[in-house]
Amino acid sequence: MRTTAAPVKRIEIVKKPTVLLIDDEESIRKSLGGSLEDEGYALVTAQDGASALDIIKTQPVDIVFLDIWLPGMDGLETLKAIKDYNPLLEVIIMTGHGTVNTAVQAIKMGAFEFLEKPFSLDTIIEIIRKVQEKRQITLQTMRYSKSIRPDNRDVLVGESQVIAHVREMLSQFDSTDDNVLIQGESGTGKELVARLIHYASRHTYRPLIKFNCVDFNQDEIERELFGYHDDTHPALNKDGILNTTSGGALFISAIDVLQSAIQKRLAQHLKASGQQHQRLRVFASSIKDLREELKQRQMSEELFSCFNPEIICMPPLRKRGGDIALLLRHFLTYYCEEHGQKDKMIEDEALEILTQYDWPGNVKELKNMVEKIVVSMPTTSITVNDIPRSVRSDRESGIEKYYVRYNSLNEAEDAWKKDYILYHLRRNNRNIAETAKYLQIDEVTLLDYIKRYGIVLVSGKKAYHHAQRTLKRSMVLSGRGLHSGIKTGLIISPLPPNSGILFGNISDGETIPAHVDFIESTEYATSLKKGTSRASTIEHFLAVLHAYRITNLLIKINNEVPIMDGSAVDFCQLIEDAEIEEQDATIEEIVISERYTVGEVDSDKKYMIIEPSERFIIHYTLNYPRPVGRQEYTFMLDNEQAFKQEIAPARTFGFLKDIEALEKKGLASGGRLNNFILIDDEKIINTELRFPDEFVRHKILDLMGDLYLLGRPIRGKITANMTGHTHNCSMLRLLRENIQIN
């Protein structure tokens, strides 16, 4: 009797994926991570975006679970960085307070799923299963993977002859591994060209690292590029960028500032790298004519020979005027998409002004202007009035006035020459030698022009004017709302000149100017409202921007600024970590020329006085029952460090009876022992004071924040007695009515 063998079952063993969990809360990492490990998944954890990227670049990861609020880089920025590095890696966004708009934005950026906390382990397991199914389908159908550029909107826009020539050169370079020199004025797109060549080459997935020489002194440049090794102090050893980037590409900005010794060492390194299998490709840029630098022996022949002899010359925007309209349309589309705005169009009269403007800051200036308009303008049609005054200037009163304001051709020529010389003197920090060299005249001739046109050279800024300021990079800070109690945070991003301080809603992209016109409430904290968007508890962060003179910044929040430890110390550190960038435009102080008073001036009453002074001074008197008592403090804002030491550490305080009243209103949910000084009838019950007079210092902190809602720093002396947010804002409105403040 024959027996039929039972069919052998084919068992397919599928390796469970490696999961990377990114969350700054240790409790989440332990609880969720432990559950995943119990289910048999290999787990890696990170508490911020930077360390997560290091993990992704150094070890295999299959799936990423990413919290939206992270220190350093927020979740959306980390998502973009992950997708830039590996577009095929699936990322699931997690948040404690999700909204439809935030979810849509995350999905548009490539997130696989958007989860709102709390969620069950079953939900996590189901998502992982879906990711695995997608990976299997992809592996079965995909024969090869094509290089994907970091941003498909990164293009060289233009149809002019000079741009066509640049584009032709790019096609030659992307098929080689040659080192490339790029020159052109500031803002012409030198870094963009380097990116385009690199990401069109066969090494598209290798990293492209940027190194800007002007950010370092010569000793620092040498250490950063080549590293530092000391056998006696091995802990101080550091690998240089040239070694760590081996096999990738490096963009060296402002190569012309390198000293000859560093140029020689760099040349030797590049020649040695050229003999290696994993060679380093270098792109280098300069605002100077590199062949002229070679003739003047400012650039060594040895270093020059390490690059392709063909130099890519980026033309200034004034020499490619026909491309301006195309660039405007490109950047409008780019930033409308970036900020979640409806598409905008430019009216004909506005377009005429923009296409006839010289754009001294080149494409970068145009790009910054477009971003400012998109962020700050709610309408979909851009008119002449929406164009910054610095651009429309003389044309805003009509073309006839533009031509007839001078009585003769000589007068018009002299006016133009004066403005031209002034512009380049400012651009070169009033350095006579550098300015004369750029203008291609000798120093004696330049000094004659200065005398002829009555140009006054002063050291530093003009009195009562300051350079506008923003930050060099975006930053993220997470915490909890004082009143809401939910986990929240803020994302700060640089803005171009004349943008102002804007609060943005992280979920819908709507913005609210930090201005007195938008004050909604001053009860317990200062809140702004525009349309359906709110920005609450803003005074501490505004006080820091006031002290550091930050004038252009986008602050994305989820309705409320986090309270942190009740003081402004963390905000100061955030600004310093982001680094301040001075901008070309200036902002004028509000100079108090007469006395203004709010309230009745009496020692037993609440009042505030502001009067003329050569400095910004606040004298505040506080008189509460024990244990606070009477406190007085005078603060002079000489610099940001004085603010950071004397005022920023002072924390929010309140009486126990006030907390009970707030709780009845559904507020104060975020009050915790470490972010609020709590006082009963006899003593401070939850902390030790940082200063004996911490309470009055905190009142000054609040006042400085509220005062910045005028949009500009103030030069005057303020005397305040027992006042709060309501009096502060009454003074703002009084000043607004009596002084011409935009």
* 309 φ, ψ (degrees, to nearest 5): -65, -20
Instruction: Return the closest-CA partner of residue 189 out of 364, 403, 423.
Output: 364
Nearest CA among 619, 693, 614 for reference residue 653:
693
pLDDT at 135: 66
- Identify the CA nearest to 103 among candidates 240, 112, 493: 112
Task: Determine the structural domain holding residue 226 and report its residue range.
Answer: 161-314
**Would you state the pLDDT for residue 389?**
67
Q: What share of the chain is helix, strand, coil (3-state, %, to 5)?
A: 40, 20, 40
Rounded CA separation 143/139 (Å): 8
Residue 394 has pLDDT above 50, yes or no: no
Specify the range with the lowest mean pLDDT, choosing from 115-129, 204-218, 472-486, 657-671.
Answer: 657-671
pLDDT given at position 477: 80
Does residue 9 form part of some domain? Answer: no
Using the predicted structure, report yes or no on whether residue 286 has a pLDDT greater than 90: yes
569 within a domain of the structure (yes/no): yes
The answer to whether residue 483 scores a pLDDT higher than 60 is no
Q: Is 698 exposed, middle or buried (0-12, 13-18, 19+ CB in 10 A)?
A: buried
Banded model confidence at residue 260, pLDDT cuts 50, 70, 90: very high
Mind giving me the DSSP string for 420-467?
Answer: HHHHHHHHTTT-HHHHHHHHTS-HHHHHHHHHHTTPPP-SSSPTTEEE
Supply 122's token pair.
């079953």
CA distance linking residue 240 with residue 524, whole number of Å: 52
Among the candidates 440, 460, 480, a domain finishes at 460
Interval 377-394 mean pLDDT: 74
362-376 vs 324-338: helix crossing angle, rounded to 10: 40
> Is the residue at 1 inside a domain?
no
Q: Which residue has the tokens 């934005």?
A: 105
The average pLDDT across 464-481 equals 80
Place of tokens 């081996």: 246
Query: What pLDDT does 277 receive?
Result: 60
- C-alpha of 655 from chain center: 38
Lowest mean pLDDT across 21-35, 312-326, 381-395, 598-612: 381-395
Residue type at 575 in one-letter notation: I
Q: Are residues 332 and 202 in the same domain?
A: no
Of residues 389 and 15, more confidently modeled: 389
How much is the pLDDT for 600? 92
pLDDT of residue 186: 85
Q: Report the C-alpha gap between 76 and 66 in whole angstroms.
A: 9
Q: Are 730 and 610 a contacting pair, CB within 8 Å?
A: no
User: Residue 655: pLDDT above 90?
Assistant: no
Q: Is 71 helix (H, G, I), strand (E, B) or coil?
A: coil
63/123 same-domain check: yes
Please provide the average confidence, as pLDDT, over all residues in the chain. 81
Output 235 or 287, whichever has higher pLDDT: 287
Q: Are residues 580 and 602 in the same domain?
A: no
Residue where one domain finishes, among candidates 537, 554, 588: 588
**Dihedral (CA of 215, 219, 222, 228) sign:** negative
**pLDDT tens readout for residues 540-590:** 999 999 999 999 999 988 788 888 888 999 999 999 988 898 887 888 888
CATH number for the domain spanning 418: value is: 1.10.10.60
What whole-number percentage of the chain has pLDDT above 70?
A: 83
Element at 480 (helix H, strand E)? strand 475-480
Higher model confidence: residue 651 or residue 233? 651
Average pLDDT over residues 633-641: 91
Domain match, 194 and 285 both: yes
The Cα–Cα gap between 365 and 317 comes to 10
d(CA 511, CA 503): 5
Q: At 183, list the tokens.
A: 């020159």
Residues 706-723: pLDDT tens digits? 999 998 889 999 999 999
Low-confidence winner among 100-114, 199-213, 312-326, 681-695 (lowest mean pLDDT):
100-114
CA angle 526, 581, 645 (to 5 degrees): 55
Report which of residues 507 and 497 the model is more confident about: 497
Give the per-residue pLDDT at 339.
80
Indicate the burial class of 137 (C-beta count within 10 angstroms; 0-12, 13-18, 19 or more).
Answer: exposed
Query: Helix or strand or coil: residue 358?
Result: coil
Q: How far is CA 204 from CA 78, 84, 179, 504, 636, in A?
A: 20, 11, 15, 35, 54
pLDDT number for residue 28 = 83
pLDDT at position 601 over 70: yes
Q: Please write the tens of the pLDDT for every residue from 223-258.
A: 888 887 777 766 667 778 888 776 678 899 999 989
Q: What is the CATH number of the domain that holds 323?
A: 1.10.8.60
392 Ramachandran zone, left/alpha/beta (phi>0; psi -120 to 50): alpha
**Gyration radius from the chain CA atoms:** 30
Q: Where are the alpha helices (DSSP H) in 498-615?
A: 539-547, 569-578
The more confidently predicted of residues 678 and 741 is 678
Range in 2-11, 250-259, 299-308, 374-383 the model is least confident about: 2-11
* CATH assignment at residue 62: 3.40.50.2300
In this structure, the answer to whether residues 387 and 285 fall within a common structural domain is no
Q: Tell me, yes or no, whether 348 lies in a domain.
A: yes
Same domain? For 201 and 215 the reply is yes
Which distant-in-sequence residues (6+ apart) come within 8 Å of 325 by Cβ? Answer: 351, 354, 355
d(C-alpha 577, C-alpha 266), whole Å: 30
Place of tokens 């050169």: 169
Would residue 148 count as lying in a domain? no
Residue 62 is predicted with a pLDDT of: 85
pLDDT of residue 12: 32
Portion of the chain with pLDDT greater than 90, in percent = 28
Quote the pLDDT of residue 251: 92
Q: What does the alpha-carbon distance between residue 38 and residue 32 come to, in Å, rounded to a whole number? A: 10
Query: In this structure, is residue 151 part of a structural domain?
Result: no
Does residue 613 lie within any of the structural domains?
yes
Whether 611 has a pLDDT exceeding 70, the answer reads: yes
- Is-contact 40 4, C-beta < 8 A? no
Contacts of 352 (CB under 8 A, 6+ apart): none
Residue 385 pLDDT > 50: yes
| Residue 173 sits in the same domain as residue 291 | yes
| Residue-level pLDDT at 120 | 81
Top pLDDT among 109 and 646 is at 646
**Nearest alpha carbon to residue 511 among 522, 520, 521, 500:** 500
pLDDT in tens, 396-440: 444 444 455 556 788 778 778 877 887 788 677 678 888 898 889
Q: What is residue 141's predicted lDDT score, i.e. its pLDDT?
A: 35
Please indicate, yes or no, whether residues 358 and 397 belong to a single structural domain of this protein: yes
- Count CB neighbours of 378 within 10 A: 10
**Residues 251, 380: one domain?**
no
Q: What's the pLDDT score for residue 742?
A: 55
Q: What CATH number did the domain enclosing 650 receive?
A: 3.30.1700.10
User: What would the pLDDT profile of 288-299 be if each residue is shown by its tens digit?
Assistant: 999 999 998 889
Q: Can you tell me the distance from the alpha carbon of 463 to that of 450, in angstroms, rounded to the nearest whole number?
A: 21
Rounded to a whole number, what is the distance in angstroms from the first to the last CA of the chain? 103
Inform me whether the pLDDT recorded for 146 exceeds 60.
no
Contact 553, 492 (CB under 8 A): yes
Buried b (16+ CB within 10 A) or exposed e, 202-237: ebbebebeebebeeeeeeebbebbbeeeeeeeeeee
Cα–Cα distance for residue pair 608/375, rounded to 1 Å? 35
Q: For the stretch 160-186, what's the b/e string if a residue is b when 16 or more beta carbons lie within 10 angstroms of its beta carbon?
A: bebbeebeebeeebbeeebbbbbbbbe
Do 270 and 166 belong together in one domain?
yes
Query: Could you check whether the bond before residue 150 is cis, i.e. omega within 30 degrees of 0?
Result: no
Highest-scoring range by mean pLDDT, 40-49, 75-84, 145-154, 471-480:
40-49
Together in a domain, 608 and 723: yes
Reply yes or no on whether the pLDDT at 530 is more than 80. Answer: yes
Distance, in Å, from the CA atom of 222 to the CA atom of 262, rounded to the nearest integer, reads 7
For residue 516, being part of any structural domain is answered with: yes
Domain boundary among the residues 264, 289, 314 is at: 314
- CATH number, domain at 257? 3.40.50.300
| Residue 585: per-residue pLDDT | 81
Token digits of residue 81: 């960085």
DSSP conformational letter for 4: P
Does residue 712 contact residue 588 with C-beta atoms inside 8 Å? Answer: yes
Angle subtended at Cα 320 by Cα 347 and Cα 406, rounded to the nearest 5 degrees: 70
The pLDDT score that the predictor gives to residue 137 is 52
Burial of residue 381 (number of CB atoms within 10 Å: 0-12, 13-18, 19+): exposed
What is the distance between the alpha carbons of residues 276 and 272, in angstroms, rounded to a whole number? 7
Collapsing DSSP states into helix, strand and coil, what is residue 315? coil
The CATH number of residue 503's host domain is 3.30.230.20
**Lowest-confidence range among 100-114, 127-141, 324-338?**
127-141
The amino acid that residue 302 corresponds to is E
Q: How crowded is residue 614: how many other Cβ atoms within 10 Å of its Cβ?
A: 10
Predicted confidence at residue 218, as pLDDT, reads: 85
Which residues are catalytically annotated?
725
Q: Which of 128-137, 153-162, 365-374, 660-669 has the lowest mean pLDDT?
A: 660-669
CA 150 – CA 667 distance, rounded (Å): 44
**At residue 654, what are phi and psi to the nearest 5 degrees?**
-170, 160
What 8-state DSSP symbol labels residue 110? T
Whether the per-residue pLDDT at 511 is higher than 80: the answer is yes
CA distance 682 to 247: 68
The whole model's pTM is what?
0.46
Into how many domains does the chain fold? 6
Residues 725 and 599 placed together within one structural domain of the fold = yes
Separation CA 223–CA 333 (nearest Å)? 41
Judged by DSSP in three states, 38 sits in helix
Q: Which range has highest mean pLDDT (27-41, 170-184, 203-217)? A: 170-184
